[in-house]
Each structure stands twice: as structure tokens, then as C-alpha cells.
Structure 1
């Protein structure tokens, strides 16, 4: 075993040895990263430049796109460096910084989806009270809370991991993962585990609240007229699909951490471990940009210069 004082870096062991193809992999990953950045920045600009989109739903979407840029930046730059590297080592500070970025991204994602479900619940189930409840100050407060709580919660999580004594430095991923770091500890991890359970329950509560909101929304949709039902379903569908997509990605990641996946090919394990970090930044801009009419019209006006 390695002594805790000698562990100054981690080794990411999940990289496939493709010396002859690493430049091709680098170009493909760089293309995906640039695509994510361009798509999310474009929609942020569209929402910010069009006063007709300065409504709560679109402001929450803008916050969601900003978070996707943040999460992608926490993953892809280091991923690109590691693809070209032969040693696949990461210093302790940089590793914990990546853990903080990726975990706050996931937490903000769930918080943002929760806030968006509450907004749609008020708009569809309580339309007469929507403008009085969803004021500008309330919107700002909800966005602030959706970012502040995850940053504080993950800061505590990472702080607990930093204080552990490590007896190993092998992380079987292509990026730094908190669960993998805790497993390397040779000190007591009871506090880490208890806090991890508490944090998991808060996330599950958010997910249950989101599903509850959409159940109430769909109940109202199907009890109204055909036009009302169609309009509400078109508005709700992107949010619900986004939630299911991200939840499935997180489930894949949890399954990899908790169960023995040695019988699964290395390439498939890499894909599953990256899915929750890349599915939303790639999927959401396309889905929201095409599905929501006002964003689609504003995007056409911006690209083709129409008024």
C-alpha cells in the first residue's frame, strides 16, 4: 500500500491504450466540446437578446444552459489533455477541483429542473396566480438557491474527501470521481458515507418533487380542451424528457460505482461513465431549440437577420 503522505497524484486507469488513434479521439472529443459550447452559447445569446424571451421559463432555461457550459468545462479540457497523455496522472488539487465542478454541475442540474417544474406547475395549474407568484424577485431568488445550495453541499462533500488519508491512487475512470477517492481511503469514512446518504436523499426528494409537479400538470392537461392539452403537453414534454434523460445517465453512473462491471467492455464502461456528463449539454440545446416555438423563431431571426 501507498503511504498517505506519498499520494500526491491520481492515476486514471480507464483509458484505452490507443496510441495510433489518440489524435483521432482527440479531434472527435474536441468537436463534441466545441459543439456543446456553440449550441449552449447560441441559445443563451438568443434568450438574452430577445425581450420577448425575458420570461421566467426562458430565464430558467438560460440558467440551465450556463450550467451545462460550466459542467462541460469541468470535464472536457482535462479529458482532452489525458487523451494525448501517456501517463494519465492528475495532481490531487486538480482532481478534487474536477470532482467539485462535476458534482456541482449535476446538483445544479437537478435543482434547475426542479425550479423549472415548479414554474410550469404554477403556469399550468395556477394560471391566474402565476404573475403574482412568479415575480422577478422570486425568479432571481429561485435561480440563486438552485446554484447556492449545490455549491455549499458539494463543498462540504469534497472537504470531507480531502481530509481522508489515502492508501492508493488508482481511479478506474477517465475523470476524477469522489466515490472512487473515498474507496481509496485507509481511514474511517463513516462521516463521508453518512453525508453521502443525506445528500442522496435530498437529490431523491428533488426528483420526486419534479415528478409530482409533472403528474399534476399532466392531470390538468388531460382534463382540459384539446387545444389546451396540446399546448401544455408541448411545453412540458422537453422538461420531462430532459429529466428522464439526465436521470438515466446518473443511474448508469451509480450502477458502475456500486456493482461489479468487469464483465462489461472497457469502451462501454467509458461511454456509460461519460453519458451523464455529455447527454444534457448535447441534448438540451437541440431539444429546447427545436421544441419550444418562441426559441425556434428567435433563433431563426438571429441567424437569418429577420426582425
Structure 2
């Protein structure tokens, strides 16, 4: 068994379509998108970091989401760029496991960060007098730590179990490593499958239900309140809901791609996969930069300064 673990297995990523014919076009598109993701999300983080009036829980969580998007994209895009210029799209099984781990750990962090934001909005709107005592700096640090550590700790166990599985396949019909790595195993592990459901419940389904319940409470409270309260709730909650809906749909795509892999045409699979890595990292800064009044104000001021230079 130890000798098997020391062998470097190379996995072929067969999800690329017409790579050789359009390799430079693909490379340019992905490179431009990656730079846009890095620049737009970094700008949001920079604005929140440098402006004292944005040092509030809601904006700190937005900065954390933007940072998460940068890490999420960096896990996928550099390898994609290399693949588009390579004759063969291959990856070692160990590197594939790392990419799989990062992809789902950061995806889980996204849901938990959105849950923390939902709770922050709930306390701010439904319990405004208690807000300063509940959403303290310590509380924020705990939420941030849990959002990144809980999914990562759970995915470590899953990746370790997968690393110890015997491989009978070396071909994945994807462009990056996701849950489809289980199809490489000689036998379907019941333990890994059950543990995978456990992780899905902890970092996706339960946070989703919590967010829905929290926003339902917010809408009930604001419906009974004055127009000013309803306006405030709409301004701060709508961007979060748009991001949540967008990310949930993309996660559903990921499940569909893996479960119906053999039933979906190759080009359709590629398009659905690209939606996961293209839309969401760009969607966050656009939504928060436009819809969040304070961030939008500082962003316009920053752009005016650049023009004056």
C-alpha cells in the first residue's frame, strides 16, 4: 500500500473542447477574466481596508467574500491557463486532490460567510439596540475563523480518504478537479459517500436554511415597520440575496455536472463548468460596488482620482 501511495499518477482532464484550435482565444479570455477578478475584488478589499467608515461588520464580511473569490479563482485559473497552452491537459492525482480540496473548502466558506452576513443583517434590523453588544470585534473574528476553518477541516478528512483509495481510472471529463475524482476509484466507498453528504449538509444545506430563515424574519420585521426601515433593509439585504441566489445556482450546476456527466454533451458540460468559475467571482464586486451605497461612493471617488492623475 505504501508503494502505491508513493507512485505519482497522472490524470487527464478531458473536459476541454477544441483546445488546440482555439487555445490562444481561450487563453486570452481566461487571462482577462482572471485579471478582472483579481483587480475588482482587490479594489473592494482595498476600499474597505482604507476607509474607517467601512470598518463595520457588514463591510468586513464583504471584504472576506472578495478575498475568498480571489483565492477561489487562483485555485482554478493558473492551471487553466497552463492547460490551454499545453499539448496535453494533465495533472497529478495529488495536485488534483489539492485543487478539489480548495474548490470545496472555499465554496463552503462562501456559504458560511453569507450566513454570517445574514445574521449581521438580522441583528442590525431586528435588534438594533443590541447590535453593538452582539456584533463585537471578537464575534466577527470568531465568525471569520469558523467560516474558513470548518469547511477546510472537514474537507481534509475527505481528501485524505480519497488519497488512500486505489485508482482504476485516469481520465476525468472536466477542466478542473471536483467531485468527479470519485469516478477514478476502483470501488465506490460508502464511507466517503456518507461523509460527503455530511459535509454537504454542514457547509451548504444547513447554512442555506439558516439564511432563508433569517431573511424571512427580517422581511416580517420590516413589513411591520416604517418605510425608512424597509428602505434600509432593501439596500443592505438585496445584494446579499442576489449573491446567495447566484452562488446557489452555480453549486447546483456543479452537482448536475458530476451526476449527469455521461448524459450531457461535452460542449454543454464545458459551458456549465465555466459558469461556476467565471460568473460568481466577477458577480460579487459588481453587485457590492453598485448596490452598496457607501462602497459605491468610495469607488466613484477612487475612479475620479485616477482620471485626475
| Common fold: TM-score over 0.5 | yes
Counterparts of 1:48-197 in structure 2, within 5 Å, are 48-177=49-178, 179-187=179-187, 189-197=189-197
The answer on whether the counterparts of 2:251 and 2:276 sit within 8 Å (CA) in structure 1 is yes
Are the counterparts in 2 of residues 10 and 89 from structure 1 also a CA contact under 8 Å? yes
Q: Deviations over 1:64-108 (max 9, x none)?
A: 111000000000000111111121111122211111111111011
- Give the CA deviation at 1:266: 2.1
Gaps of 5+ in 2: none
Gap runs ≥5 in structure 1: none
Change (3 A) 1:24 1:277: closer
Q: Equivalent residue for 1:11?
A: 12
3-state SS, counterpart of residue 11 of structure 1 = strand
Residue 266 (structure 1) aligned with residue 266 (structure 2): yes
Structure 2 distance, partners of 1:6, 1:143, is: 38
Give runs of ≥4 in structure 1 deviating > 4 Å. Answer: 3-7
* SS of equivalent residue, structure 1 residue 19: helix
Tell me, in whole angstroms, the C-alpha distance in 1 between the residues paired with 2:5 and 2:57. Answer: 49
Which deviates more from structure 2 when the two are superposed, residues 221-230 or residues 290-299?
Answer: 221-230
Q: 1:185 to 1:239 in 2, by over 3 A?
A: same
Q: Distance in 2 between matches of 1:107 and 1:252?
A: 15
- Map residues 186-265 of structure 1 onto 2, 5 A cutoff: 186-187=186-187, 189-202=189-202, 203-260=204-261, 262=263, 264-265=264-265
CA distance in 1, matches of 2:265, 2:191: 34
Whole-Å separation in 2 of the counterparts to 1:268 and 1:20: 18
- Is contact 1:221–1:233 with CA below 8 Å preserved after alignment? no
Partner of 1:302: 302
2-side partners of 1:206 and 1:97: how far apart?
Answer: 24
Kept in 1: contact 2:8–2:92 (CA 8 A): no
Matched, 1:34 2:35: yes
Distance 1:44 1:266 in 2: 37
TM-score by length of 1: 0.94
Work out the CA distance in 2 between the residues paired with 1:13 and 1:5.
25
Deviation at 1:254, TM superposition (A): 0.5
1:85 aligned counterpart, secondary structure: coil
Distance 2:154 2:279 in 1: 24
Distance 1:241 1:261 in 2: 31
1:6, distance to aligned residue in structure 2 (A): 6.6
Asked if residue 289 in structure 1 is aligned to residue 281 in structure 2, the reply is no
- SS of the aligned residue for 1:303 comes to helix
> 1:275 and 2:282 equivalent?
no
Residue 20 of structure 2 aligns to a residue whose secondary structure is coil
Partners of 2:280 and 2:123 in 1: how far apart?
Answer: 25
Shift in Å at residue 62 of structure 1?
Answer: 0.7
Offset at 1:209? Answer: 0.3
Q: C-alpha separation between the residues in 2 aligned to 1:293 and 1:301?
A: 12
**Rounded Cα–Cα distance in structure 1 between residues aligned with 2:7 and 2:139:** 50
Deviation at 1:276, TM superposition (A): 2.4
TM-score, normalised with respect to structure 2: 0.93
User: Measured at CA, do residues 71 and 260 of structure 1 come closer, stay the same or move farther in structure 2, by a change above 3 Å?
Assistant: closer
Deviating more after overlay: 187-196 vs 166-175: 187-196
